[in-house]
Amino acid sequence: MFAARGGGQVPDLMTTAHQRGGPQRSAVPGAILDAVSHRVSQSQAQEFLAGKYGAVEELRPLGGGFWSSAYSFSHAGRELVLRFGACKDWFEADRAALAFASPDLPVPEVAEVGEAFDGAYAISVRCYGINLEDVRPDQSDAAGPMLASLLAALSKVPKSSDLPVGWHWRPPRRDLTWRGWLSGRLADDPRQEVHGWRAALAVQSGIDRVYRAAEARVRDLIEACPGAARPDSRRSTARQRAGC
């Protein structure tokens, strides 16, 4: 999910690059996240920034993330975000994704990537917004057109075998089609980074009912997906961040 310009009453949607900080959270209580927890405290972040910039202003933790600790701060008149994570490649992919930016596909600028605290850090220009899943029903009239323009912009991202970004840098699978990938994602696979979610959904009757209806609809529409092989490891980060 990228920061996408909303209209009317809907705030801009914040990129997940700036939502991956704070305590680990799963949209499904009970699901297991096989992510390396890499927590850096606020005092550590303050010391780190002091070593780089001297005094900074308005250092605050950002919550809502899975993979890293994130803090907002101001320096030299700029509003910025500092993230600490386990893997430098994640942040390099965010930086490379700037090549796909357009008016309908805003991508925060990653100004710096490096190593710190036995892991990695990134400093980005701050974007404001909310998570897509937090858009309220009364905001749908504005959120719908915004999301449509975002998806249209994503479809225009160039496809190329030499794109400099990927998702966890998995090797390509020539036998994997879009239909196969979508079907596979409907199964709770313990080999995936996030698993255990289906059992967690099953104990919540209301959520489980919604999921089963959505799953049935996906299966109804899946034949409309392209049958061509899906370029698994070569998809752009822009598409990955949007969950496509």
**Cβ count within 10 A of residue 31:** 16
SS (H, E, C) 99-121: HHCECCECCCCEEEEEEECCEEE
Average pLDDT over residues 1-27: 39
Task: Report d(CA 202, CA 208) in Å as an integer.
Answer: 5
Distances (CA, A) of 9 to 18, 75, 140, 199: 22, 30, 9, 36
| CA distance linking residue 56 with residue 64, whole number of Å | 23
Q: What domains sit in the chain, N to C, each tagged with a CATH number? A: 1-162 (3.30.200.150)
Instruction: Tell me what pLDDT residue 73 has.
Output: 94
Plot region of 127 (φ>0 → left; ψ -120 to 50 → alpha; else → beta):
beta
What's the confidence (pLDDT) of residue 58? 93
User: Does the pLDDT value for residue 90 go beyond 50?
Assistant: yes
Radius of gyration of the chain from Cα atoms?
Answer: 19
Residues in the chain: 244
- Long-range own/partner contacts, residues 222-227 (CB < 8 A, 24 or more apart): 222/179, 222/182, 222/183, 223/179, 225/177, 225/178, 225/179, 225/182, 226/177, 226/178, 226/179, 227/177, 227/178, 227/179
Residues 173-200: pLDDT tens digits? 666 777 888 888 888 888 877 788 889 8
What are 13's strand-pairing partners? Answer: 130
Residues 69/101, Cβ–Cβ less than 8 Å = no
The residue type found at 61 is P
Residue 74 has pLDDT above 90, yes or no: yes
Q: What is the pLDDT of residue 243?
A: 36
- pLDDT category at 160 given cuts 50, 70, 90 is low
Give the residue-averaged pLDDT of 102-116: 90
Helix (H, G, I), strand (E, B) or coil at 185: helix
Q: What is the pLDDT of residue 221?
A: 86
pLDDT at residue 44, rounded to an integer: 92
Q: Is a pLDDT exceeding 80 seen at residue 170?
A: no
More confident position, 35 or 113: 113
State yes or no: pLDDT of 213 exceeds 90. yes
Predicted local distance difference test score (pLDDT) of residue 158? 74
154-184: buried (b, 16+ CB within 10 Å) or exposed (e) per residue?
Answer: beebeeeeebebbbeeeeeeeeebbbbeeee
Q: What is the pLDDT of residues 24-43, one digit of tens each?
A: 444 444 444 444 456 888 99
Specify the higher pLDDT residue, 101 or 64: 101
Report yes or no: 105 and 238 within 8 Å, Cβ to Cβ.
Answer: yes
Average pLDDT over the chain, rounded to whole? 75
> pLDDT grade, residue 113 (50/70/90)?
very high
Q: Give the tokens for residue 216.
A: 């049935």
